[in-house]
Amino acid sequence: MNELEALKAELKQKEGLIRNLESKLENAETDRATVQSQFAYSLAAMGAYFWVDNLRDGTALYSSPHFFNRLGYEDSEIPTLLDDYVAMVHPEDSPRVMDAFARYCNGELEKYEVEFRFRVKDGSWISTHNLGRITKRIGDEVVEVSGITIDISYIKSIERALEKSNSDLKLANEQLLQLATTDRLTGVSNRAKLDEAFEHELSRARRQNSCFAIALLDVDFFKKINDTYGHQIGDDVLVELAQRLQSNSRRTDIVGRWGGEEFLIICADTKDGILTFGENIRSIIAEQPFASVGTVTVSMGVTSYQDLDTNDTMIKRADQALYEAKEAGRNRVISR
């Protein structure tokens, strides 16, 4: 074989290699397209789509059609220009989305991740979570960005349902607490709430060397009211009395039903003024006729915190003062 024939043989061999490489490349492109299509279909089944955008010419190089089909769009309606995609973003979200995208491309943000609402064919909106990354640069210019857009409407609906459930649960707990600490008839604090408030004021007085006072009062001749007008009217008297006590006490005072026709008022940061407070309450009750029975009076015993006091010792003094007020003719206040 001469030199010319050897060269021809070598060229023929290289032509075969080139055709083989071209075939492999064609197969690779086909495989790539197949993989990309399968990937896009899988994402669409999960409510997401894969996209590739060319920023240099403002076109969408690829957008998963399956996702748009789920939203009601025909293949021919899938945008090919980036501006058309932007137009499908909710107007309230668009400025925030564009700002995040620009800052990511400028290197101000480490990643592009943003949520926005995306328009459905029927004009409604879905919530989406978007992730993107730069896939091609030429110098400092960002040429290509790809990413995934995920439909999170179902997640958002679950979040809203959970928020409502938590809100309803909080409201229910508040209502239960209200029921647990409120006297059902009169609407003021019940015995349990009074005991809790009493312990709180005792603890505060011991820690901070502060003072507080209590007023224990009883409706005069309440049995006679029940016997004359009936228990329903008697209940009405207690309700009206509770309202007067509440409206004529400070916001920091705790007004509650101690039991039966007895009421207790716990007055924070009060000492010598408790007698004046009691007299004011007594006169308001006596001078303003009750709607159902006319004039009603109360007797009251008041006392202030003293060193080493407990709730028992304070209640005992107030109860003794209340007894003395009744023995002295009722409709009066005694301090001990």
Domain count, the chain: 2
Three-state secondary structure call for residue 33:
helix
Q: Is 77 a catalytic site residue?
A: no
Residue 88's CATH number: 3.30.450.20
Contact between 48 and 57 (Cβ < 8 Å): no
pTM for this structure?
0.57
- Look at residue 39 in the predicted model and tell me its pLDDT: 47
* Same-domain check for residues 190 and 305: yes
* Same-domain check for residues 94 and 191: no
* Same-domain check for residues 250 and 321: yes
Structure tokens belonging to residue 142: 């960002």
* Same-domain check for residues 79 and 146: yes
* Same-domain check for residues 223 and 84: no
Q: Which residues of the chain have pLDDT under 70?
A: 1-47
Last-in-domain residue among 111, 140, 156: 156
* Same-domain check for residues 237 and 312: yes
What order do you get walking across the sheet with 262-268 strand by strand?
Answer: 254-259, 262-268, 212-219, 298-304, 333-335
3-class DSSP string for 92-108: CCHHHHHHHHHHHHCCC
Catalytic residue among 261, 262, 287, 327: 261
Contact between 293 and 233 (Cβ < 8 Å): yes
Residue 15 inside a domain? The answer is no
Residue 11 inside a domain? The answer is no
Residue 132 inside a domain? The answer is yes
- Look at residue 124 in the predicted model and tell me its pLDDT: 95
- Look at residue 27 in the predicted model and tell me its pLDDT: 53
Last-in-domain residue among 96, 122, 156: 156
Q: How far apart are CA 301 and CA 214, in angstroms?
A: 8
State the DSSP string of 247-285. HTS-TTSEEEEEETTEEEEEEET-STTHHHHHHHHHHHH
Contact between 125 and 119 (Cβ < 8 Å): yes
Structure tokens belonging to residue 159: 């979040």
* Same-domain check for residues 50 and 187: no
Contact between 177 and 189 (Cβ < 8 Å): no
Interstrand relation of 298-304 and 112-119 (parallel, antiparallel or unpaired): unpaired
Residue 213 inside a domain? The answer is yes
* Same-domain check for residues 72 and 212: no
* Same-domain check for residues 308 and 189: yes
* Same-domain check for residues 52 and 116: yes
State the DSSP string of 174-214. HHHHHHHHB-TTTSSB-HHHHHHHHHHHHHHHHHH---EEE
- Look at residue 234 in the predicted model and tell me its pLDDT: 96
- Look at residue 23 in the predicted model and tell me its pLDDT: 57
Residue 170 inside a domain? The answer is no
Last-in-domain residue among 119, 140, 156: 156
Residue 209 inside a domain? The answer is yes
Q: How far apart are CA 261 and CA 222, in angstroms?
A: 7
- Domain of 87 in residue numbering reads as 46-156
- Look at residue 14 in the predicted model and tell me its pLDDT: 46
* Same-domain check for residues 196 and 101: no
The answer for residues whose C-beta is within 8 angstroms of residue 63's C-beta and 6 or more apart is: 49, 50, 51, 52, 78, 79
* Same-domain check for residues 133 and 221: no
Residue 164 inside a domain? The answer is no
Residue 176 inside a domain? The answer is no
43: nearest Cα among 65, 62, 60: 65
